[in-house]
Amino acid sequence: MSAVALIERDFAVPDIRCAGCIAKLEQGLVRDRRIAAARVNFTEKRVHLSCTPDADMPDLLGAFTTLGFEAHPIGTGEEADAEAETSRALLRAVAVSGFAMMNIMLLSVSVWSGAMGATRDLFHWLSAMIALPTVAYAGRPFFRSAWRALRHRRTNMDVPISIGVLLVSVMSLYETATHGAHAYFDGTVMLLFFLLCGRWLDSVMRDRARGGFTALLRNMGTGAMVFRHERSAHWVDATALEPGMEMLVAAGERLAADGVVAGGSSSIDLSLLTGESAPQTVRLDDIVHAGTLNLDAPLRVRVTAAGADTAIADIARLMGEAAQGKSRYVRIADRAARLYAPAVHTLALLAFAGWMIAGAGWHHSLLIAAAVLIITCPCALGLAVPAAQIVAAGALMRKGVLIKDGSALERLSEVDLALVDKTGTLTLGRPEAQGLDRLDIGIKSLILALAQASRHPLSEALTRGLQVHDVRPADIRSIRETPGFGVEGRWSDRMVTLGRPIGTELGEALATQLAVDSRPVATIRFADRLRPDAAEAIEALRGEGIGAMILSGDRAEAVAPVARELGIMAQTAMSPQDKLEAIARQAALGHKVLMIGDGLNDGPALAAGHASMAPGSASDVGKNAADCIFLGDRLMPVVEAIRMARRTQAVVRQNFMLAIVYNVVAVPLAFLGLVTPLVAAIAMSGSSLLVVGNALRLKAAMW
């Protein structure tokens, strides 16, 4: 097979539940001769296949079906629909089971208060009428998963849950039909409600962790006008572009492919790729990349790479590989679940067999076995992590930090080295006009009138700066913008222009100039300044035992002043691959790296870091690749998120201890026949509430 060129395919598989599912898929799929390798991304519930060219899509889908899993090819849009529908279905099931649980508990209170005879039978039948449809509807996620597993002669966590729920439901119906004293519909529905809550919370956190590809594709041009010959051009979709074609890129349009400038000159916004906020001038034979924005004038670009061969697609591939590495960490955390199903089945069977041998009869023995199944339901264990993470994520959200992936808090608590991008991360990432307060009010009003008529980044910076000074725009008419040169208009009988400075004494400094009748009146420089609390945040990181270093794609001259002011080391002119390698080197030295960046060029590094954060002003790709997003101009939320993550981990450890103590005490009692299915459900629910209550303490810790 090694001599055959393999093709790569990705599939969404929503039914991956535990480490057993991962092992089943990775070991089972490669038994098909056409599949060379299968790798599961548990976080995103996706499977990556390397297969031979003769493997058709129906055959690959059939391989998943044979193992008991439904798969959806990624890229068709079906996977997004399936994932969204799964979350919606879980939420509906939580609502239905919660509503049913409250009504059945009201009926049960009447029975517990001493209702007898026909009244008790009536309440039992009413409970059955509510509970049975609820079990049939809300229990479907567990039943479907368990049935698929059993049909293919394997087991998973949903098998004992389904057996317990069905067993107690059937026995409760038997008790009701035979006028028995005890029915356990309340316990069954309560069990489903708490299990569904845990699964829905888990689904919510996973949804936030998914998908950088959709955002990445939004940054690509959808197509381009391609020349047929010198005077005629036609629209070609991005997927049909090929090397050698010559495309016309209008001002304000994103490039749909990589290429070389074959005609014209303009300014290109490269912030998506390099993080550099200043537009870059491009001329004949300069290289330009897909996803960047042409700002000033039309360009003729000869395509050199399109589709999967572009730089932006390469960055997407690096992000995917880095995310795969992160999923291995999640597997380790989930490995313990592999023992759950066989252990619970064994315990329940032993309880049933032991009590049958002891002469308790099938009815009593079944009740004890059902109590063992219910009391060992992993609700508290299942809620131990997501409950703490959801509370912490909510508290951080009020502080301006958005947590996308629950496991990010776990990883964030372990970091001991911060690698920080400069532009847009340590700095504000937008040009700020310098020295506006020294200008005459008349000049300010002329500049504002011209600047607010343009969407150029420097014009927008001028508009923002002058509006702070409460300046009113002058009465300028016939305003006209010339791409590549600036804005001009008529003020009384005079011509005023705002644009590229005359002369070369400014060098490469970012600046613009106001001229009246072609005579320069004022020159304004621009700079990207540090975030107001950058120094304080770096010092606070040191206080938490976390060193900091700059990783930047900018030139050394641009980075050096920032590094000096903050007193930290810096590496400059780094490509996305260089940043990945820097993170790998630090990881090899035993460091847990926190990557903080904002641009598309930081995407792979953000995905590869042990944990990652991006500012709210970051590109869509940067925000999708990062685990957390902090809002506003301050950098201190980074430190606050780390402190909260460490508190959260302490609560998670306490929750695990509570769950373990619960099982150590409750399981022997159930095994000895001292617990009915109802008491088992209440005990299981009580342990869940205890875990949730402990997690809620995090809310107070943030204030």
> Could you tell me the residue range of the domain that residue 286 belongs to?
223-309
Token representation of residue 423:
């532009």
Residue 472 lies in a domain: yes
**Looking at residue 78, what is its pLDDT?**
52
Cα–Cα dist 369/352, whole Å:
5
**Looking at residue 330, what is its pLDDT?**
41
Q: What is the DSSP string of 555-591?
A: -HHHHHHHHHHHT-EEE-S--HHHHHHHHHHHHHTT-
Cα–Cα dist 501/486, whole Å:
10
- Considering the domain architecture, whether residues 416 and 540 belong to the same structural domain is answered as yes
- Considering the domain architecture, whether residues 285 and 422 belong to the same structural domain is answered as no
Residue 56 lies in a domain: yes
Pure H helices in 40-77: 57-66
Residue 499 lies in a domain: yes
**Looking at residue 425, what is its pLDDT?**
84
* CATH number, position 68: 3.30.70.100
* CATH number, position 254: 2.70.150.10
The mean pLDDT value of the chain amounts to 78
Instruction: Identify the band that residue 219 occupies on the pLDDT scale cut at 50, 70 and 90.
Output: low
Which one has a higher pLDDT value, 270 or 111? Answer: 111
* CATH number, position 491: 3.40.1110.10
Average the pLDDT over 383-398 and give the result: 76
Residue 626 lies in a domain: yes
- Considering the domain architecture, whether residues 635 and 489 belong to the same structural domain is answered as no
- Considering the domain architecture, whether residues 505 and 479 belong to the same structural domain is answered as yes
**Annotated active-site residue in 296, 421, 528, 627:** 421
H-helix or E-strand spanning residue 693: helix 677-701
Token representation of residue 79:
């996977």
**Looking at residue 381, what is its pLDDT?**
67
Which one has a higher pLDDT value, 498 or 553? Answer: 498
Pairing relationship of beta strands 593-596 and 611-615 according to DSSP bridges = parallel
SS3 453: coil
Instruction: Identify the band that residue 326 occupies on the pLDDT scale cut at 50, 70 and 90.
Output: very low
Cα–Cα dist 473/461, whole Å:
15
Distances (CA, A) of 299 to 291, 364, 458, 564: 15, 83, 21, 39
Average the pLDDT over 4-21 and give the result: 70
Average the pLDDT over 654-674 and give the result: 82
SS3 300: strand
* CATH number, position 421: 3.40.50.1000
- Considering the domain architecture, whether residues 538 and 508 belong to the same structural domain is answered as no
- Considering the domain architecture, whether residues 424 and 557 belong to the same structural domain is answered as yes
Residue 218 lies in a domain: no
Q: Which of 309, 338, 357 is the last residue of a domain?
A: 309
Contact between 260 and 303 under an 8 Å Cβ cutoff? The reply is no
- Answer whether residue 22 shows pLDDT above 90: no
Q: If you average pLDDT over each of 5-19, 247-261, 621-635, which comes out highest?
A: 247-261
Cα–Cα dist 22/18, whole Å:
7
Whether 202 is a known active-site residue: answer no
- Considering the domain architecture, whether residues 630 and 601 belong to the same structural domain is answered as yes
Cα–Cα dist 493/233, whole Å:
42
Cα–Cα dist 700/703, whole Å:
6
Cα–Cα dist 555/539, whole Å:
25
Name the nearest CA neighbour of 600 among 293, 295, 272, 205: 272
pLDDT in tens, 524-575: 888 777 888 889 999 999 999 999 999 887 778 778 888 888 888 888 888 8
Residue 454 lies in a domain: yes
Q: Is the pTM of this model over 0.75?
A: no
Judged on CB neighbours under 10 Å (0-12, 13-18, 19+), 472 is exposed
**Looking at residue 328, what is its pLDDT?**
42
Instruction: Identify the band that residue 205 occupies on the pLDDT scale cut at 50, 70 and 90.
Output: low
Contact between 527 and 515 under an 8 Å Cβ cutoff? The reply is no
- Answer whether residue 403 shows pLDDT above 70: yes
SS3 683: helix
- Considering the domain architecture, whether residues 472 and 573 belong to the same structural domain is answered as no
- Considering the domain architecture, whether residues 415 and 517 belong to the same structural domain is answered as no
pLDDT in tens, 127-141: 999 999 999 999 998
**Looking at residue 2, what is its pLDDT?**
45
**Looking at residue 128, what is its pLDDT?**
92
Q: Which of 529, 553, 580 is the last residue of a domain?
A: 529
Q: Which of 289, 309, 329 is the last residue of a domain?
A: 309
- Considering the domain architecture, whether residues 543 and 522 belong to the same structural domain is answered as no
User: What is the widest separation between alpha-carbon atoms in the chain?
Assistant: 110
Q: How many structural domains compose the chain?
A: 4
Which one has a higher pLDDT value, 667 or 3? Answer: 667
- Considering the domain architecture, whether residues 417 and 539 belong to the same structural domain is answered as yes
Lowest mean pLDDT among 210-214, 245-249, 626-630: 210-214
Residue 202 lies in a domain: no
% of the chain at pLDDT higher than 70: 82
Residue 64 CA from chain centroid, whole number: 26
- Considering the domain architecture, whether residues 536 and 621 belong to the same structural domain is answered as yes
**Looking at residue 621, what is its pLDDT?**
67
Residue 161 lies in a domain: no
Cα–Cα dist 701/703, whole Å:
6
